[in-house]
Amino acid sequence: GAVVSQHPSWVICKSGTSVKIECRSLDFQATTMFWYRQFPKQSLMLMATSNEGSKATYEQGVEKDKFLINHASLTLSTLTVTSAHPEDSSFYICSARADYNSPLHFGNGTRLTVT
């Protein structure tokens, strides 16, 4: 089945630094990838839609200058958390699907802790 790989699986960084998270579709091409954030005991909240070759589409309330998304190729999207603060600590998950007839497949997530 479709595989989405996300790296790193966990990262600890100091406040004020930036962190990059990578999301790759391993066996299919994804023109669109999605970035979610999950707070403890809460649902998956869509942050943004990453479009290959164009700008990402951000959900309401998500700061595009803080969460930079780059979809450089049909198999790679990156999320950079810039100038991270402790409140950015969360579980970030990417997802992708090959086409409209396929379900979304998720990466294993990245646990970000900002100290």
Partner 1 sequence: DQQVKQNSPSLSVQEGRISILNCDYTNSMFDYFLWYKKYPAEGPTFLISISSIKDKNEDGRFTVFLNKSAKHLSLHIVPSQPGDSAVYFCAASTSGTYKYIFGTGTRLKVLA
- Which chain residues interact with partner 1 by CB under 8 A? 4, 6, 9, 32, 34, 42-46, 49, 91, 93, 95, 97, 100, 103-109, 111
Shortest distance (Å) from residue 74 CB to partner 1: 15
**How would DSSP label each residue in 12-24?**
EE-TT--EEEEEE
CB of 104 to partner 1, least distance (A): 6
Q: Contact at 8 Å (CB) between 21 and 79?
A: yes
- Cβ closer to partner 1: 52 or 82? 52
Is the separation of the CB atoms in 69 and 46 below 8 Å?
Answer: no
**CB nearer to partner 1: pick between 107 and 114:** 107
CB closer to partner 1 out of 19 and 110: 110
* Residue with tokens 């999320």, as numbered in its chain: 79
Q: At its nearest, how many Å lie between partner 1 and the CB of residue 17? A: 22
Contact 97, 105 (CB under 8 A): yes
CA 109 to chain centre: 8
